[in-house]
Amino acid sequence: MVTMENPAMKYTELEHIGSGYFGDVVRAVDNATGGEVAIKKINLQGLKRKQLTFNEIMIMKRHRSPSVVNYLDSYLLGEQLWLVMEYMDGGALSDVISKCYLSEEEMAAISRECLRGLDFLHSNHVIHQDVKSENILLRTDGSVKLADFGLSTEFTPEQSGGCWVAGTPWWMAPEVVTGQPYGPKVDIWSFGIVAIEMVEQEPPYLSQSPASAKFLIATVGTPQLRQPKLLSAWLRDFLSCCLQTDEEQRWSAKELLQHPFVTSAKPASILAPLVISMKKRK
């Protein structure tokens, strides 16, 4: 599972770039190559945390794609696991959303790149289970990748993914919050919420508590846009295809990649000026 050497000898830490319930993320340089990496330091106290971390490493090792953040190595230091990954120098989509308005052209390019990642995972029988703007990372060349597989689960084609409640409340699909068996399309609902974030700069019900948000997701159904008339017909239809409350009616990642809103998208390199300008503002 892990490389048996001291990572502090192999990497030089440069700066702290994030934190979460799992621990911290730092930017570091590989002393041998001079290349930059991201190191996620995970506190392993508790059996469930160990299981989730084992799960995250195995999924990242098995499933490599240009659309997901690449796993490089892992190390164990006492009760702390260091997960070394490629460094995405543009930060998280959530940072971009919080600071500027995206054009539909930019939203379409981001959507296509994320859907490529989801199609890759779903084709390999993996459900991400925590798709949100914080877990979508960017590079200054415009590339977009899915990150954070701590809650991901594998499923067989014959079965649903599960019925345990996993994810972040405001992005959860109705079938998750109501405790129904579910499949990979829970990620599509979550990505539909990310698309609303890109439009409105926050997900629906963000002002509500987690419990209230779950109740509204379960009872209200498809969330309403504040100003739908400001959006193109293609974007409105794309959102509708992602946010069908009936999982059967919701489009798959493969189908959404053929939606006109996505097929009209320009290359991801159009995102580079946006990401670079955001980085300069920090």
Catalogue the active-site residues: 130
With CA atoms as reference, report the closest residue to 6 among 25, 38, 31, 34: 31
Angle between helices 233-242 and 104-123 (to 10 degrees): 30
Assess contact for 59 and 71: CB atoms under 8 A. Answer: no
Integer angstrom CA distances of residue 258 from 21, 101, 123, 251, 262: 37, 25, 16, 10, 7
Q: Return the amino acid letter for 202.
A: E
CA-derived radius of gyration, the chain: 19
Assess contact for 182 and 176: CB atoms under 8 A. Answer: yes
The long-range contacts involving 174-181, CB below 8 angstroms and separated by at least 24 positions, are 174/217, 174/218, 174/221, 174/245, 175/247, 177/214, 177/217, 177/218, 178/218
